[in-house]
Amino acid sequence: MDDLFAKPKPAEPKALSVTQLLRRIKNVIEVQVGELWIEGEVSNLKKQASGHWYFSLKDEGAQIQCAMFGARKRQGHEALEDGAKVRVFAEASVYEARGQLQIIVQKAERAGLGDLQARFEALKRKLHAEGLFDAERKKPLPKFPRLVGIVTSDTGAAIRDILNVIERRAPWVQPVLMPVRVQGKGAEFEIARAIERMANPEQHGIPRCDVLIVGRGGGSIEDLWCFNEEIVARAIAASVIPIISAVGHEIDFTIADFVADLRAPTPSAAAELAVPDGAELIARLTQMGRRMNRQVLERLLTATRALDALKRGPLQRGGERLLREPSQRVDSLRARLDRVVAATLDAKAASFAEARANHRAHHPAKVLERRTERVAVLGKQLLRLVSEGIETRQRRLAHVAGLLRTLGPDSAFQRGFTITLDEQGHLIRSATTVVKGSMILTRFADGEVSSVVNHDTSP
């Protein structure tokens, strides 16, 4: 009976398995964290035969396990090495078998490489826009230099390679080394100053070189970075001496390579481009000497044969007989030349006499005299024409005057006719236009009479 009123026992909570727990954690991490860039130092790198690489990525305060599956097919796998500082693009996850947090790396790159590459591209665009890469400004290399300047480290492998090549190919060429640091902070200033000194040797008491080699051996992009600095590029561009850039290996390209007059894939190749091959020159000179000797011998043999033929022919009859006909031709040509010269001189003399006569005829005094005579003649003609014109016009005027006297009002006056005018001087044509008290003027042949109208004549 007591069991009926007893309190029920609470149900036991459902427990998760370890696998379920880890899968929940994995799902949360993969969803909430997802893919992202992570930067750190590579440690304990293991490259498995399967092609998968495993390593730790750490910083000063923590570390995380990493896995790169099919590593050699992944971008930037060559950047992964113990102690290298890298940036990886990875997905956060959990390795369930060990309950271990890890990241699955998709690609990697050296830390800071992105910034360096951006700086590289920015400077490259800037200098290209200024024309420092143009082919027109590239200076040709001398074919036979006597002094070769070298700007590199005096302790590296590059200088040994360059000197070995010069000694082997052109032992008569003198190398002039300007030692500098080729990596590290401030190395770019040393390199730029060395190039400037080599380009202005008289100011620094060093011999003037015919060509300069600037470079170093291979290395990482950080090691080669001083050759990507603007100060080095401008020093190369300002040099009046041709410069060969030899930085790193064949796959390495720097700003110095684009600005230099010529780029060499390695320091050894730069030395081969700078100096000629002595053995090849000797071989060419030997071949040219043989060819010249052969041509000279052939010409001597031809001349000897021609001389022998002459000796067997005309020369056997004596040299005096051979010269008779040429002497006659010379005399004939001399006489012909004398005739041509005399005729030419006569023609020139006649032309000169004609020119003198023309000159005298056109002398200013003669011209002025002729023009004065012409003016006098024209003056007489003008006077005659003016007199004739005046006489003609006088006759016409007299005729018109006679007509005027005959047909004009004066003739009517002479016959007793008069003209009557009003006060305004208008001709009065009818008595009806005159009013009483008005003043009228009557004009006679010998004078005028004023009158006042006493009575009105209007109807």
For residue 4, the SS3 value is: coil
> Cα dist. 117→19, 29, 269 in Å?
45, 32, 26
Return the DSSP state at 253.
-
Q: Report the distance separating Cα 238 and Cα 234, nearest Å.
A: 6
Q: CB of 84 within 8 A of CB of 71?
A: no
For residue 14, the SS3 value is: coil
> Cα dist. 407→297, 399, 402 in Å?
130, 12, 9
Q: Report the distance separating Cα 410 and Cα 446, nearest Å.
A: 10
Fold of 18-111: OB fold (Dihydrolipoamide Acetyltransferase, E2P) (2.40.50)
CATH number for 116-275: choose from 3.30.70.2200, 3.20.20.70, 3.40.50.2300, 3.40.630.30: 3.40.50.2300
* Residue 265 amino acid letter: P
What confidence category does residue 114 fall into, taking pLDDT thresholds of 50, 70 and 90? low
Q: What pLDDT does 317 receive? A: 58
H/E element holding 42? Answer: strand 35-47
What confidence category does residue 119 fall into, taking pLDDT thresholds of 50, 70 and 90? confident
19 pLDDT above the threshold of 80? yes
What confidence category does residue 11 fall into, taking pLDDT thresholds of 50, 70 and 90? low
Q: Give me the mean pLDDT over the 389-410 stretch.
A: 82
Q: CB of 114 within 8 A of CB of 62?
A: no
Q: Report the distance separating Cα 111 and Cα 355, nearest Å.
A: 98
Say yes or no: do domains 18-111 and 116-275 share a fold.
Answer: no
**How big is the chain by its Cα radius of gyration, in Å?**
62
What confidence category does residue 211 fall into, taking pLDDT thresholds of 50, 70 and 90? very high
Q: CB of 56 within 8 A of CB of 80?
A: no
Q: What pLDDT does 403 receive? A: 79
Q: Which of 16-25, 229-238, 405-414 has the lowest mean pLDDT?
A: 405-414
Q: CB of 95 within 8 A of CB of 71?
A: no
Q: What does the mean pLDDT of the chain come to?
A: 86
* Residue 136 amino acid letter: E
313 pLDDT above the threshold of 80? no
∠ CA 193-196-198, nearest 5°, is 110
pTM of the model: 0.48
Q: What pLDDT does 116 receive? A: 73
* Tokens matching residue 320: 């005096």
272 pLDDT above the threshold of 90? yes
* Domain parsing of the chain, residue ranges: 18-111, 116-275, 279-306, 413-452
Q: CB of 251 within 8 A of CB of 266?
A: no
Q: What pLDDT does 1 receive? A: 46
Residue 404 backbone phi and psi in degrees, to 5: -65, -40
Say which residue the tokens 């009806």 belong to.
432
325 pLDDT above the threshold of 50? yes
Of 319, 191, 310, 166, give the one whose Cα is nearest residue 245.
Answer: 191
Of 54, 31, 59, 37, give the one whose Cα is nearest residue 100.
Answer: 54
Q: Report the distance separating Cα 308 and Cα 316, nearest Å.
A: 11
325 HSE (CA, 13 A, CB side): 2
* Tokens matching residue 78: 């060559």
What percent of the chain is predicted at pLDDT more than 90?
Answer: 37
Q: What pLDDT does 455 receive? A: 74
What confidence category does residue 408 fall into, taking pLDDT thresholds of 50, 70 and 90? low
Q: What pLDDT does 139 receive? A: 94
Q: What pLDDT does 68 receive? A: 94
Q: What is the DSSP string of 52-119?
A: -EEEEEE-SS-EEEEEETTGGGSTTGGG--TT-EEEEEEEEEEETTTTEEEEEEEEEEETTHHHHHHH
Q: What pLDDT does 261 receive? A: 95
